[in-house]
Structure 1
Amino acid sequence: MPLVEHLRELRSRLLKSVLSVLACTILGFVFYEPLLGFLTDPYHQIAPQLKAEGIDTSLVITGVGGAFQFQLKISLVAGVVAASPVWFWQLWAFVLPALHRHERRGALLLTFTGVPLFLSGVALAYVILPKAILILIGFVPKGIDSLVTGAEYYDFIIRMMLVFGVASEIPLVVVLLNRMGLLSGRALVRARPWTVVGLFVFAAVATPSTDPLTMLFLAIPMTVLYLISEIIARITDWRRGKTPLAQIGDDEASPL
């Protein structure tokens, strides 16, 4: 296909992706109330506990156009997430013709493994959000009210979900590096102590709440996933060592 045809196809794919996001954003604007209830539910869960401790807290929206901006932001993110099958397929359909058969299998493995891992991390973040919010607002002294703006609350939960979602991709990255021959199972075993320490440091820095409990909720699953990826890498190395080509030296010519 000539370069101009590639550009035309790319334009067509991008246009379809943008239209799908726009349509889903409009739906998010229509169903704003259920979305808002879903996002603010972690906050409302801990409000009675804080009130029992003598801390009055309220979720507020500031500014004349703050409510509209808040609704538009939530609708846009919901539109991007809801339209993800469409724009992801458009991206996949554009790249697919350029891939070899084995590359397609690897890409499919990346897709069908990475998406569930990311969603699992996001779900874990949503589950622990009430506890993280409770700990942070719990530092407010008695007799002082806590006003949480909608923008701050929204940014906080989005950051939490993104951090947990991206962190859940660690085993996938490790396995891919191992399959590419850039990282061996033995190297993972030798680096395990430092890697575990690094994971805990990353969890401490990356979590927006900065409290030890949320750090543990992120660091412990990351460590377990890393150990699982280490086992997979060692099994892959063992299978690779069983093949005849693995017995050929780097400076020798293979039968191929």
Structure 2
Amino acid sequence: MTLVAHVRELRARLVKALLALALGTAVGFLWYDRGLLEFLSEPYCALPAELRFEGDGECRLVVLDVFGGVLLRLKIAVVAGAVLSAPLWLYQLWAFITPGLRRGERRYTVAFVAASSLLFALGACLAYLTLRKGLELLLSLAGDEVAFQLTAPDYVGFVLSLLVAFGLSFELPLIAVALNLVGVLSHAALAASRRWIFFLTIVFAAFITPTQDPFTMLAMALPMLVLFEGAIQLARVVDRRRARREAIESFHDIGDDEASPLDAAPSEVAAPSWAELHRY
């Protein structure tokens, strides 16, 4: 394909991806009043009564300006639309990249997209489960003399940033696996840098968590350490298979009438046991 043909295909893929996002956003806009906002505000409403605002005896989030409610609904609808339409726009991205890949690389691409989606979902779920404890710890530090009245845009922005931070952080070990699969990063380099990887993971979790509390930081850091260790062990398996494959392929360039190179060095022989000596 020419450069102009590539640009035209990219434009067509982007239009389809944006249409999928618009359709998902419309679904999220309608879903807003049917449990979506309640789902996002549930960790806040589960806090003790002294740490949240109640209006008419029910848990309420406050909007302080005229356009705050509209912007809040649009923000939640766009994020929900991006999540709902992810299979469609990810397919458009994959369909644009696939023609330039080899058959083995296409297999890795499908596995990479599936694994990245799963890891992002796991990170977001973990963030949602730890959200209540993080909020309770942060709000309780202000003391009993302080009354809280969180605004809806600030709270929803905080929740979405936490979900995205956890989801993206869980993608980092997958990047290490991808670099190992393409031969850029070896298991030896990963194993030698294990201490630095673990240390930088904890530092990263301390800076990336919006709550900045130790509970949320550990909730992010510990699963990331487990994922990184899994990535290191997976790199070990991949490098061993690659070494065996290269050892086999090294004989393909030898002619049929040419002797294969052999290692003439003697191998170690185990000493016979007493039972074997007595038998002879």
So what's the TM-score if we normalise by structure 1? 0.89
For residues 113-136 of structure 1, the C-alpha deviation after alignment (integer angstroms, 9 at most, x for no partner) is 111111111111111011111111
In structure 1, the residue matched to 2:65 is: 63
Distance 2:2 2:165 in 1: 40
In structure 2, the residue matched to 1:175 is: 177
Count how many residue pairs are aligned between Structure 1 and Structure 2: 247
Is the contact made by 2:45 and 2:52 (CA closer than 8 Å) also made in structure 1?
no
Distance 2:233 2:151 in 1: 45
In structure 1, the residue matched to 2:190 is: 188
Shift of 1:5: 3.1
Give me the identity figure in percent.
Answer: 38
Q: Which letter maps to 2:20? A: S
Q: Which letter maps to 2:41? A: T
Is the contact made by 1:240 and 1:246 (CA closer than 8 Å) also made in structure 2?
no
- Which sits farther off after the overlay, 139-148 or 214-223? 139-148
User: SS of the counterpart of 2:150?
Assistant: strand
In structure 1, the residue matched to 2:30 is: 30
Distance 1:70 1:56 in 2: 19
For residues 18-70 of structure 1, the C-alpha deviation after alignment (integer angstroms, 9 at most, x for no partner) is 1221122122111212110111111111143xx2xxx4546311101111111
Q: Which runs of 5+ in 2 are unaligned?
A: 54-59, 255-280
Is the contact made by 2:138 and 2:211 (CA closer than 8 Å) also made in structure 1?
yes
Shift of 1:236: 1.5
Shift of 1:213: 0.8
The 5-angstrom pairing of residues 168-247 of structure 1 reads 168-245=170-247
Equivalent residue in structure 1 for 2:80, among 63, 78, 81: 78
Is the contact made by 1:178 and 1:184 (CA closer than 8 Å) also made in structure 2?
yes
User: Does residue 11 of structure 1 match 2:11?
Assistant: yes
Shift of 1:11: 2.3
- Which sits farther off after the overlay, 90-99 or 218-227? 90-99
User: Max radius of gyration: which structure?
Assistant: 2
Shift of 1:138: 0.9
In structure 2, the residue matched to 1:43 is: 44
Is the contact made by 1:10 and 1:94 (CA closer than 8 Å) also made in structure 2?
yes
Cα distance change of structure 1 residues 7 and 187 upon mapping to structure 2, 3 Å threshold: closer
Shift of 1:245: 4.1
Distance 2:64 2:248 in 1: 64
Distance 1:147 1:222 in 2: 34
Equivalent residue in structure 2 for 1:132, among 99, 110, 134: 134
Equivalent residue in structure 2 for 1:255, among 241, 253, 256: 253
Distance 1:44 1:191 in 2: 43
- Which sits farther off after the overlay, 128-137 or 184-193? 184-193
In structure 2, the residue matched to 1:116 is: 118
For residues 117-174 of structure 1, the C-alpha deviation after alignment (integer angstroms, 9 at most, x for no partner) is 1111111111101111111111222232112111111121111111111111122111
Distance 1:94 1:186 in 2: 34
In structure 1, the residue matched to 2:99 is: 97
User: SS of the counterpart of 2:61?
Assistant: strand
Cα distance change of structure 1 residues 31 and 201 upon mapping to structure 2, 3 Å threshold: same
Shift of 1:205: 0.8
So what's the TM-score if we normalise by structure 2? 0.82
Q: Which runs of 5+ in 1 are unaligned?
A: none
RMSD over aligned Cα atoms: 2.1
User: SS of the counterpart of 2:149?
Assistant: strand
Cα distance change of structure 1 residues 254 and 201 upon mapping to structure 2, 3 Å threshold: farther
Shift of 1:4: 3.3
